[in-house]
A and B are shown apart, each in its own frame.
Chain A
Amino acid sequence: MVLYDIRKNAYYDSVTLMLISKEIKQIEGVTEVLVGMGTELNKELSSNLGLGGEAIDGLSPNDFFIAAEVSDEQVMAEVVETVARLLTQKKASGDSVYRPVTLSAAKGMIPELNLAVVSIAGQYAEDEVDRLLEENIHVMLFSDNVSVEAEKKLKQKAVDRGLLMMGPDCGTAIINGIALAFANVVKRGPIGVIGASGTGTQEVTSLIDRLGSGVSQVIGTGGRDLKSDIGGLMMLQSFDALIADPETKVIVLISKPPAPEVAEKILKKVSETSKPVVVDFIGGDLEMIRKAGAIACISLEDTAYKAVAAANGKSADDFAGFEMSDSEVSKIVSQAISPLKPSQKFLRGLYTGGTLADEAMKLLGNQFGGIYSNIPLSPEYELENLNVTGKHTCLDLGEDQFTVGRPHPMIDPSTRTERMLKDIDESTAIVLMDVVIGYGSHENPAGEVADSVRKLKAKVGAPVVYVASITGTSGDPQGFESSKEQLEAEGVIVMPSNAQAVRLVGKMMHALAQKEA
């Protein structure tokens, strides 16, 4: 059998390479070995020696490879160990550093490593995270496809060691003012946020920034933390940390409705702190939250409003309206609806952020005869074969059925672009969208949406209404204002939050129904 060890764009000095070659040759059971850079002739030689293969064919001259023919797996393991040891040894002595392959080499380069961002394939994540926690390094685990058992084990280890283990499937965090993975540039301030939902957390923190306040820390837990299997281990752990954190004056918790026994545990902690606690269990039981002495919220936007009010020592009523005046809203609604043709009946929600799609459906409710979705509020509205004809729909384009073989639509907007061109036609009245900017996201998601709208105007012979909200801040690399301008230039109505965009759409749907009647 042939073993390959390939390092793309890796440079080791010749002495190291020779040493590896010599040491491997001496291992009993190694019959042939070639160590070198992936030039055409070196590749050809490896094939001549019977060491060729797909792994080698794809190399470029700046890739380093080891190919070894070994007698059995035991020998193979020894070779792998030997190479790792030799390369690490070299790294530690500072002889050849490029990109470390092992954690100890990375620590050799930055000895005080205190956080790891892990986004490798899920099946390998458990081992890597376990080793990071052993080294007392806090972890943000972006990878998904990690088993519940592994998550529980890792989080228990993190709790025992007083560490963060954000994730798996944790997309958003802001630690010490630094945006990690998908996060916005939010001013620093008195509000500490713990979120089990990535885009939900982005929406709340962006609005906090736009309302003039800021965040102390934003901790992600991963979507499963508040299920009974995990028992809220990371939310509870982070809650304690924010309670103890002198910079945090207000604590915000964001999650889909938790398992009841987990909700109980979390709400019990509210009584252990004098800091105001603002809770959005998206669409969950508000009364239970209020009873526990926490501030309950009706939307992600409302969560931001209430957190900022609490930070200013005030209380706030539920924010269920608009920032603009009622007359302005009515004007926008009638201007948008009056040109619509009788054939234009349906709503198309096309979301890149799952929590925002979920929020949209919850806020709209059943008032228009139910909204079909790939993440429906109730099973009867499950969208079959993604066939949208003749229905109101709201899609979470970040779900697996859309992302097989390509990046999440927040990174690669083409999923939505394709969907828009497919799903929007003469029967479409209103299109509702999110535009999530910030670190991690595509370099100009608003521009991509604007392009699609322009194309659709030419393609669809009816005046479709486009409503969007932007999750982001003016500090984000893409810029809130410039994103807004690009959308408005194509006639997209840009609302200040997802909740307001949804409410506006609700009013439009009512107006449409009245028009029909």
Chain B
Amino acid sequence: MHVKMIASDLKNYLTDSAPFEARVHSIFKDVINLIDHQGELITLISENKMMAPMTLQAPFNRSVVKKMVSDDIVMVTDSKISFKRLNWQLEFISADIWQADFETSALKFDSRIFIECADIIREALLINGDNGGLLPLIKVLEKQLQVEPSHMNLPKNNTYTEFIEEVFITLVNHLKNKEYEMLSNILPRFVGFGPGLTPSSDDFLMGMMITLYLESTINKQDQTRIREMTEQIYNSCISKTTTVSEAMLKNASKGRIASAHRNLIETIYSDCGDHVREKAIAVINNGASSGTDFLFGIYCAQRILLSRAFNR
């Protein structure tokens, strides 16, 4: 079988490290995760899913998924992946390349547009978002950052947000004040928390990281510090959260995220416009509360950037 598309970071990784043996880590309807000898997660997705870092997309079907079991041995070379037991091979020599890194040259940061955009995202969160994760913290976030209250009802606290509220406030204040070196104290009390295979706090951190990362890239400000900060977030989560979550945080710390999420971020850092709402809802529709928590992370970063902009 031929692979349709391969992420550029995966392609580079395989060129450097293959051949090696990996094993099947987890299996879902449209997603198969492999884990390799170095603990890197490599993801296979069907055509029903959108591209993401360290991912390849192939037209596999349910019958393959059903026969697969975890720990199945997989041989990985720089041109193909072979599932020995299933006699199934994926060749990717001729696959299209999906660029895992953002093309930022056409993006911009305009605080006026940014406010407008943050308001739309807020609305999408409150109307379409899932309140099962960290979203109820929007109330304390806005209070901390002195966002003007709106007429919309805010979600009530849940078990998770009650538990994490204080830590969250501290986290937001550190970010707002650019006290990045203080994060290492607070992150162990934050990562890997909440429901889901990727715990809510991790989804939140991903959205927050990528938004700040891009802003610094686009404005060419604080780039080194931001990169150190995202790397630090990733380091704090090692072995404190699930393998899948850890891999996603690693990618996000390098400015790499899934294409559905990227579509939204690109819109935020361009003309905003009507598409933001529909792209935000597309993000919310990922997983149970994962999409909402990711979007809430973006929103948090937006408000932090805006509060800094106004204080200036």
Assess A/B contact in the complex (Cβ within 8 A). yes
Measuring CB to CB, which residues of chain A are less than 8 angstroms from any residue of chain B? 9, 11-15, 17-18, 21, 34-37, 39-42, 44-45, 48-49, 61-62, 93-99, 108-110
Top 4 A-B pairs, shortest CB-CB distance? A39-B192, A14-B196, A18-B288, A11-B26
For B65, list chain A residues within 8 Å (CB): 94, 97
Does A21 contact B159, Cβ atoms closer than 8 Å? no
Does B196 contact A42, Cβ atoms closer than 8 Å? no
With A62-B242, A94-B29, A94-B62 in contact, is A14–B288 under 8 Å at CB?
Answer: yes
Measuring CB to CB, which residues of chain B are less than 8 angstroms from any residue of chain A? 25-29, 62, 65-70, 132, 159-160, 163-164, 188-199, 201, 239-244, 287-290
Provide the main secondary structure of the chain A interface.
Answer: mixed
With A61-B242, A96-B29, A97-B27 in contact, is A35–B159 under 8 Å at CB?
Answer: no
Bound Cα distance from A14 to B26, whole angstroms: 13
For B195, list chain A residues within 8 Å (CB): 14, 17-18, 21, 35-36
For A37, list chain B residues within 8 Å (CB): 192, 196-197, 199, 241-242
Does B159 contact A34, Cβ atoms closer than 8 Å? yes
A456 nearest CB across to chain B (Å): 39
A selection of 19 A-B contacts at a CB cut-off of 8 Å is: A13-B28, A14-B196, A14-B198, A17-B195, A17-B197, A36-B196, A37-B199, A39-B199, A40-B188, A41-B191, A45-B160, A61-B242, A61-B243, A93-B29, A95-B28, A96-B28, A97-B28, A98-B26, A99-B70
B266 nearest CB across to chain A (Å): 25
- Given B26, B66, B193, B239, which contacts A109 in the complex, CB threshold below 8 Å? B66
A58 nearest CB across to chain B (Å): 15
Does A98 contact B27, Cβ atoms closer than 8 Å? yes
For A13, list chain B residues within 8 Å (CB): 28, 197, 287
Bound Cα distance from A191 to B144, whole angstroms: 81
A133 nearest CB across to chain B (Å): 24
Bound Cα distance from A263 to B287, whole angstroms: 64
Bound Cα distance from A41 to B193, whole angstroms: 6
Bound Cα distance from A425 to B143, whole angstroms: 80
Does B67 contact A109, Cβ atoms closer than 8 Å? yes
Bound Cα distance from A45 to B193, whole angstroms: 9
For B290, list chain A residues within 8 Å (CB): 14
Does B241 contact A39, Cβ atoms closer than 8 Å? yes
Bound Cα distance from A40 to B65, whole angstroms: 32
Does B70 contact A98, Cβ atoms closer than 8 Å? yes
Bound Cα distance from A18 to B190, whole angstroms: 21
Known: A13-B197, A14-B198, A41-B190. 20 other contacts (CB 8 A): A11-B25, A11-B26, A13-B287, A14-B196, A14-B197, A18-B288, A21-B132, A37-B241, A39-B199, A40-B188, A41-B163, A41-B201, A42-B193, A45-B193, A61-B242, A94-B66, A95-B28, A97-B27, A97-B28, A109-B69
| Nearest chain A residue, comparing its CB with the CB of B287 | A14
For A108, list chain B residues within 8 Å (CB): 66
For B239, list chain A residues within 8 Å (CB): 61
A36 nearest CB across to chain B (Å): 5
With A96-B28, A98-B26, A98-B27 in contact, is A11–B244 under 8 Å at CB?
Answer: yes
For A110, list chain B residues within 8 Å (CB): 67
| Nearest chain B residue, comparing its CB with the CB of A110 | B67
For B240, list chain A residues within 8 Å (CB): 39-40, 61
- Given A39, A40, A44, A99, which contacts B242 in the complex, CB threshold below 8 Å? A39
A60 nearest CB across to chain B (Å): 9
| Nearest chain B residue, comparing its CB with the CB of A36 | B195
A38 nearest CB across to chain B (Å): 9
For A15, list chain B residues within 8 Å (CB): 287-288
For B190, list chain A residues within 8 Å (CB): 41
For A48, list chain B residues within 8 Å (CB): 163
| Nearest chain B residue, comparing its CB with the CB of A35 | B195
Bound Cα distance from A229 to B176, whole angstroms: 78
- Given A11, A34, A42, A95, which contacts B192 in the complex, CB threshold below 8 Å? A42
Does A45 contact B159, Cβ atoms closer than 8 Å? yes
A389 nearest CB across to chain B (Å): 49
| Nearest chain B residue, comparing its CB with the CB of A42 | B193
B230 nearest CB across to chain A (Å): 20
Does B159 contact A11, Cβ atoms closer than 8 Å? no
Bound Cα distance from A13 to B197, whole angstroms: 6
Bound Cα distance from A13 to B196, whole angstroms: 7
For A61, list chain B residues within 8 Å (CB): 192, 239-243
Bound Cα distance from A35 to B190, whole angstroms: 18
For B29, list chain A residues within 8 Å (CB): 93-96
| Nearest chain A residue, comparing its CB with the CB of B132 | A18
With A12-B197, A94-B29 in contact, is A41–B192 under 8 Å at CB?
Answer: yes
| Nearest chain B residue, comparing its CB with the CB of A11 | B26
Does B196 contact A17, Cβ atoms closer than 8 Å? yes
| Nearest chain A residue, comparing its CB with the CB of B193 | A41
For B193, list chain A residues within 8 Å (CB): 39, 41-42, 45
| Nearest chain A residue, comparing its CB with the CB of B163 | A45
For A94, list chain B residues within 8 Å (CB): 29, 62, 65-66
Bound Cα distance from A98 to B24, whole angstroms: 9
Does A99 contact B69, Cβ atoms closer than 8 Å? yes
A252 nearest CB across to chain B (Å): 33
B215 nearest CB across to chain A (Å): 28
Bound Cα distance from A36 to B200, whole angstroms: 11
B271 nearest CB across to chain A (Å): 32
Bound Cα distance from A108 to B25, whole angstroms: 19
Bound Cα distance from A39 to B66, whole angstroms: 29
Bound Cα distance from A110 to B68, whole angstroms: 9
With A39-B199, A94-B62 in contact, is A18–B244 under 8 Å at CB?
Answer: no
B60 nearest CB across to chain A (Å): 12
